[in-house]
Structure 1
Amino acid sequence: MSEWRLLLTRPAEDCEALAQCLAAAGVGSSCLPLLALEPVAVDTRQRLLLESLHGFAAIIVVSKPAARLLLEQLAEAGLRPPQQGWFTVGEATAAVLQGAGLEVSFPPRGDDSEALLAMPGLHQALEVAAPCVLIVRGVGGRELLAERLAQQGASVDYLELYRRCLPAYPPGTLMRRIEAERLNGLVVSSGQGFEHLQQMAGADWPQLAQLPLFVPSPRVAEQARAAGAQQVVDCRGASATALLAAVQRSAAPAS
């Protein structure tokens, strides 16, 4: 049985699924979702993007919620998506699209922007005249993708289908949970998830910053260290597999 007792902060549905995976490996955890997802209304410009998917050299979907909402919007509009040209940051997002019969490519190792940008298949997709790329995501996030793609000569459009919010909790909820359940590690799945963790911690952040913090990428690791986190573990991916591997190679703090 692992000595780790982790605070999980993903959206509620993903949080529970992650907790089950960790429990099966003997790792204790507690769910306190710090991200809630709210769909945004599709405006005229976004509807035009939905109708022109066949014109993109690559369509990059960055999360499971983005994949689900995209498929819902296409179904409601009666639109048939292209079969090929789909890319995702990780395997779990790819599985959502593959369930709709689409051919999806994703990095074999590492589910982050850097791993996606290194994929030969993505480079090959961009080897056309004036390639256009569509990034399907929530509002904001993963600017690195657009910057690097632009450097490769691609024009980039965003289809933003949801926004991330911090759920409402009574003051002091975060620290009370950590102390009551003697949690000894924190987990965030994105840069905005880390921002919400720090925001909710408030005046308790200097104390929480001493706990080991598991993050999904070098970018979020840098963000956390800049904010004062003392023990940052880069999982090189946001999947349960990546987190579990990082936890298993890290020693839990002494009780």
Structure 2
Amino acid sequence: MTGWRLLITRPAEECAALAATLAEQGVYASSLPLLEIEPLPETAEQRALILELDRYPAVIVVSKPAARIGCELVDRYWPQPPARQVWFSVGAATGQLLQDYGFETCWPTQGDDSEALLDLPRLAEVLAVPDPRVLILRGEGGREFLAERLRGQGVSVDYLELYRRSLPDYPSGTLPRRIAEEGLNGLVVSSGQGFEHLRQLAAEDWPALARLPLFVPSPRVAELARAAGAENVVDCRGASAVALLAALRATPAAAF
């Protein structure tokens, strides 16, 4: 894996942690955060949902920022988490944050996406009650897949949107210049929005950058990238460092 020199694009704090993990495995990583997390101002609607948190037998948290901000919000209004409530996360890193806070938490051990979460027997068990309700903690304007599937099963779903994601302000040409100066031979995105921001920052240089291997977290993002012209997409089947490292081991590095 030592032949890989990657551009990683997660929010700044997560980039630093991923870069350190990759370095331990002999992989060079250059951090260029493409997702800036901005907590949303607390609203009356947010407050009402949190104050009625105990109405939901299941709470689903879709990201680490949602976990961090959500835990802070719960801590403000609940001296102790509601009893007999299970929190679910898409990935282990988000789940560990929730577990450390003190919630009963469950996440898929096989797969690292919404589809794997929906297949959890524990989720079906928790929702096997009259009038099942789920609260989803997420960013502004997130994916609708989870809610659509759950509503199709007769579950009432509410959203608690906690933050927005924006593209940091970089000078024109930052992306191709970074790749050229550091001899990078692979790109990594952790979400569909991260990929859209990559394309946006690449601008007129995207056709050239689209030839680089692009590591993505799911079939959905892989499809999005291929439709946009990415020529060498590697689906890591998860957004974790473990999933990325497994994909790197299975993919020979090449000079570009």
Q: TM-score under structure 2 normalisation?
A: 0.97
1:165 lines up with 2:166 in the alignment: yes
1:35 lines up with 2:40 in the alignment: no
C-alpha displacement at 1:79, in angstroms?
4.8
Q: Distance in 1 between matches of 2:82 and 2:189?
A: 33
1:96 lines up with 2:97 in the alignment: yes
C-alpha displacement at 1:29, in angstroms?
1.0
5+ unaligned residues in a row in structure 2: which ranges? Answer: none
Q: Distance in 2 between matches of 1:142 and 1:245?
A: 26
Q: TM-score under structure 1 normalisation?
A: 0.97
C-alpha displacement at 1:2, in angstroms?
1.3
- 1:59 aligned residue: 59
5+ unaligned residues in a row in structure 1: which ranges? Answer: none
- 2:196 aligned residue: 195
Deviations 1:190-214 (A, max 9, x none): 0100000000000001111111100
3-state SS in 2 of match to 1:133: strand
Counting matched residue pairs gives 255
Deviations 1:177-197 (A, max 9, x none): 000011000000001000000
C-alpha displacement at 1:254, in angstroms?
3.1
Task: Verify the 8 A CA contact 2:8 2:189 in the aligned structure 1.
Answer: yes
Q: Distance in 2 between matches of 1:110 and 1:29?
A: 24
The residue type equivalent to 2:69 in the other structure is L
Q: Distance in 2 between matches of 1:155 and 1:123?
A: 14
- 2:15 aligned residue: 15
Q: Distance in 2 between matches of 1:126 and 1:224?
A: 35
1:153 lines up with 2:150 in the alignment: no
Q: Distance in 1 between matches of 2:2 and 2:119?
A: 34
C-alpha displacement at 1:125, in angstroms?
1.5
3-state SS in 2 of match to 1:99: helix
Q: Distance in 1 between matches of 2:58 and 2:215?
A: 31
Task: Verify the 8 A CA contact 2:86 2:103 in the aligned structure 1.
Answer: no
Task: Verify the 8 A CA contact 1:51 1:79 in the aligned structure 2.
Answer: no
C-alpha displacement at 1:67, in angstroms?
0.7
The residue type equivalent to 1:236 in the other structure is R
3-state SS in 1 of match to 2:245: helix
3-state SS in 2 of match to 1:104: strand
Task: Verify the 8 A CA contact 1:59 1:135 in the aligned structure 2.
Answer: yes
Distance 1:132 1:78, change over 3 A: closer
Q: Distance in 1 between matches of 2:18 and 2:42?
A: 30
1:2 lines up with 2:35 in the alignment: no
Task: Verify the 8 A CA contact 1:113 1:142 in the aligned structure 2.
Answer: no
3-state SS in 1 of match to 2:179: helix
3-state SS in 1 of match to 2:66: helix
Q: Distance in 2 between matches of 1:46 and 1:214?
A: 35
Q: Distance in 1 between matches of 2:77 and 2:151?
A: 30
C-alpha displacement at 1:141, in angstroms?
1.8
Q: Distance in 2 between matches of 1:206 and 1:129?
A: 53
The residue type equivalent to 1:200 in the other structure is L
C-alpha displacement at 1:78, in angstroms?
4.4
Distance 1:79 1:51, change over 3 A: farther
Sequence identity (%)? 63
